[in-house]
Chain A
Amino acid sequence: MSDAPGSNLKYVSRKRRVREDKRFVAGTATFAQDVNLPNMLHCAVVQSPYPRANILSIDASEALAMAGVRYVLTGDEFRAHADDMKFGLNTPQVKWYPLAVDLTRYAGEWVAVVVADDPYVAEDAAELVDVDYDPLEPIIDPEDAYVETDRLVHPAHGSNVLYDGHFYWGPVEEDFAAADDSLSYRVRWGRSSTVPIETFGVVARWDDAVDILDVWASIQMPNYVELLSSTLRLPLNSVRLHQDVDVGGSYGVKRGIKHSVIVGYLSRKLRAPLRLIEDRLVNMASGDAHGPDRIFDTQVAFNNDGKILSLKIRALDDAGAYPSRAPFQLAKPISAIVGPYKINSVQYDAISVTTNKTGQVPVRGFGQSPTNYMIETAVDKVAAHLGMDRVEVRRRNFINHDEFPYQIPSGSKYDSGDYHTVLQKALDTAQYDELVKRRDTARAAGRLAGIGVATCLEPGGGNNIFEYLMNPSAEITTFSEGCEIRVDPDGLITGIMGSTTSGQGHETLVATIIGEDLGFDPDDIRVVHADSLNAPITRSPVASRMAIMLGSSAAGAAQKIIDKVMAIAAHNLDRPSDELEYADGTVFDRSDPGRALSWKELCFIAHKAYHKMPEGMEPGLQAQYVFQVPGGGQLPDEHQRVQIYPCFSFQSHIPYVEIDPGTGHVSILDYVIAHDCGTMINPDIVRGMVIGGLAHGIGAALYEKFAYRPDGQFESATFADYLMPSVYEIPMVKDVDHCTPSPLTSHGQKGSGEGGYLGAPAAIAGAVNDALSPLGVSIHELPMRSHLIEGLIHAKKASQ
C-alpha cells in the first residue's frame, strides 16, 4: 500500500509537533547520567599512555588505601570471570576485553577501573594506580599494517589483516576492455566520527533476589543485550535493558559495550549499583567511538559520451585496535556500490586492518558516506576528463524513473526513485544558471569560487546479510522489528516499542502511524519504550531503518486490531465482514451505516463481554506485529549477489563555496539539498535529519579529524583540538523535498537519517575542487583542512 502525499492522509506527512520535544525543552528528560540509584558507586578509568606496550605489573595498593575507594578491577580479573566481546568477524584470535590484558594496543586504552563512593575520589584514585609498562614500537599507518609481519596488534591472530575480501559483479575486464577510456585515482576519508555531546554512560544494578542485571545506558546498538549477557556468561533473560532512557545523540556510535560489561561485572561482584560516565577526554581517546578511516584506489571505465561502464575499487579501512563491528562498514556500501548510476560491473576489494589506534565503531551511514565520496569523485573526474558538464554526466548515467525496481550488479534491487526529477529540483532551487554566473563573476574578480554537485543513495532498513558476506558462519538473514498495540477497556490506545531513542522521534513515528491507521488523534495515543524483557523484538535504530521497520510494524499491529474489531462487529451485527467498513474506531454496515458498533462498544465487548465474542476468540484487544525486512531472508547467490537493504532514498546536494587564497579557509556560502525519502511520516523530523546529517557531513569534509602522531600518540582529545561545526560553519540551507513512495513499506516511507551525511562530503569536495580548478590543483583527502588547501595553493603559486 502506498499513499502519495496530499491524498487523504490525516496525520502522516502533516506538520505536527514532535512529542518527544516537550521533555527536552522542560529539562525533564532522563538521560543515563540522570539515573541516580541509592548507594550507587562510581567508576574512573586508568588509561595506558603508550600505544603499544607490555603490561609488566599493576599496583593498586595506594589507590585502594584512599578513603572512599572500594575496588580496582584489572583485565586479568575480568578475563578470569568473563569472556571476550565478540563482534562478528571470523577472527577468533582477536580477543577484545574491556581492560587490556598483558598488552596495550592504543594510547588511552583502559588498563584498570577504580570504584569509589564518589566520582571525584574515583578519579583521584585512578591517578594512584601504578602500572609498569614495557613500551613497544606501534603500527600506525594502515598500508604498513596490511603488510606488516612483526608489529602485530593482535599477535595471536598472525597478521594485522582482519578482512580481505574480493567481489566481482559482472564482466569487469570485458567492460574495461570495451570502454573508450579509463582513469584511476586515490581518495582518502579521514578518521572522524559524529561525536555526540552526551558522552557514553551506563548504570548497572545486579539483583540477587531475582537474578536480573538492570541496565540503563546511553546505547544505540543491535545485539547489545545479547553481547552483554554472553560476555558476562549470564542467561539472555537475566539482562534487563531499560530502553526508556533518552540517548543524547548517537548517529551510530553509542556502543559502550566495554563500559557496560565492566559495570555489569562489578555490580555483581560488589553487590552494589555502579555508574560509569565517560568524561570528554576518555570519550575521545578511549571510548572506542572513532569512525571509518579509509583509503580508496579506484579505476573507472567510461565511454566518450560520459557513460560509465565499470568500476574497480580497492578500499582499505583502518579499524583501529579493537574493531567492534567496524569492518562491516565495508559491506553496507555493497548494497549501493554503483550509487544511482547504471554501471554494468564492479570489482570490489575490501580490506580491514587493525592498527594501534582507538577502536572504530559504526557511524551514520555505516560506511556509505566514504564510499559515496569515492563514487561521486569518479563522476566528477570523468566529466572533467571529457570536458563535459558534471550535471549532464550524472543525468546520462542515472537509472530512469521507469526502470524500477532496478537490480544493480551486486544484487540489490532498488525499490523506487526519480533521480532526474530530484536533481532538477535541486538545480531549480539553487537557480543553477545564476549560481554559475555568480561563480564566474567571483572568479573574474580573482576569487576562488566553486560549485559542488553530488547525489547519494541512502539504503535503509537492512537485513544484516552483510555480516554473512564477510563471515559465512553468520547465517543471519533477518533484522526484524516489532510493535505492539494495546487498547484498554476505556478504548485508549498504547503503542509499545523496544529500543532506545537518540533523537529520531520514534514515539512520534509510532503514534502518527497508529493514529493514521486506526483513525485516532496521535496526541491521544500513548507510546512507551518497554524494557528489553517486555518489549517486542527490536534491532535498534541503526541502518536508517525505523520509519521502514518500526513504522511498518506499527501499521501491521494496527491492521490486526482492525481485523479483530471487524470480526467482533461481524459477529454482533450479523453481517459478513466484507460488507462492513472500519472508520475512526467505528465499524458499520456499508449499505446501512446506521447499523454500527462504536469503538467504546467494541472495546467493551473485547475486554468484558466474552459472550458477545466470536467463538474461540482471544479476549482483550491487543496485537503484536513483527515486520520482516522486505525482499530479504535469502543468502547470497554463487556470485555473492544479495539484497541487503530494501529501500533506497535519494538526495542531490549543491553547495557554493569560496576559498580564501591566503589561508585556504573554505566558506560555504549557499547550500541546496533536494531529498526524496518516499512518504515523510513527520516532515519536520525528516528536515531535521537531512540538515543535521548535512552538518555532520560538513564536519567530516572540512574540520573533524582524530589525529595521531606517527608515534601513535593521540592529538584530538578535546573540543579545542577536534573541531566541529558551530552555527557559523553551517550555511542557511535551502531544502526541497520530493516523494517517490516505496512499494515495500506501510505508507511508502523510506529512511532519512543518513542522506545528508552521505551527500555532503562528496558535494563539498566537488565544490572545493571546482574552486581550485583554475589553479590546476585538487585535493583528494578529507577533512580538507585549511592548511592543506593553503599548502596546495602556495605550492602551485611558487612553481609558477
Chain B
Amino acid sequence: MQNTTSDPILVTNELTRRFGDFTAVDRLSLTVGNGEIFGLIGPNGAGKTTTIKMLTTLLPLTSGRATVAGLDVRRYPAQVRRNIGYVPQLISADAQITGYENLWVFARLYAIPREEREGRIREALEFMGLSAVSDLLVKNYSGGMIRRLEIAQALMHRPRILFLDEPTVGLDPLARDAVWEQIERLRGHYGTSIVMTTHYMEEADRLCGRVGVLHRGHLVGLGTPAELKAGIGRPDATLQDVFARFAGEDVELGGGYREAGRTRRVAVRLE
C-alpha cells in the first residue's frame, strides 16, 4: 500500500471495444486520481457499462490499454480482481438467502482470513446500516437495502477502487439519498476511489469530483461539474444542459428493447 497516494488509481489509454462493426467504446483515454469519485455520464448506449466491464476484467479489450490499481487489466486480470470492488447495475445480491449469508459467501470467495471474516462482515453490515436486518432473507429487503447490501458485499475485501454502475437506478428519492450518503462516507472513511456511471445529473453533481461525458463511445467532455456547467455559458446551467449539449438529439436513442426491459425488471424487483 505504500507510496501509492500520488499515483493515479486508474489510467486508460486509447481504450477501445468493438462488437462486430459497432464501436461501443472508441479510444477512451482517462486518468482517475487516488481517492477521487469519478462519474461517467451519457445516454443509454454511450459506452458507460462497456467501459466498466473492460475495467473490471469482465470484457476483453479490443485495443488500447488500461491499468487499474497499477496493474494492467489484460496481463494481470486475477490481481486486478483482488484490488477492485464492483456493484453491477442489475441486482447482484441473492434473494433466497439472508444479508449475512450474502456477505459470508463473498468473504470466503475473497479469501478473507477466517479470524477476520466475522469482524469484516459485521463491520460492513454496520457501515451500511444493515445490522438490524442481517438475518432477514434478502427477498424481504427494500430496494435501498438491497443496494446497500451489494455495496457492502463489494467492500469487505477493502478494494482500492470501487466501480458502481448506475447505483441508484430504480430507487425512490429517499433510498437514493441514503445510498448517496453511504458513498460519501465510504470515500471519507476508507479513502476508496470510486468510478461510477449514472444518468442522473443530480447524482453526478452531488458526488463526483470530476465527470466524463461519453457519447457514442467517445469522451466528449471532461471536468468538474462546475467547469462543465461554466462551459455552457449560462449562469444557471445545470449538468442536464451539459448532457443535452453533448448528447444532442440522441438522448432518446440507444439502449433498445432488451436494455429497457432489464432496467424496468430491476426496478420492479427492487420494489
A binds B: no
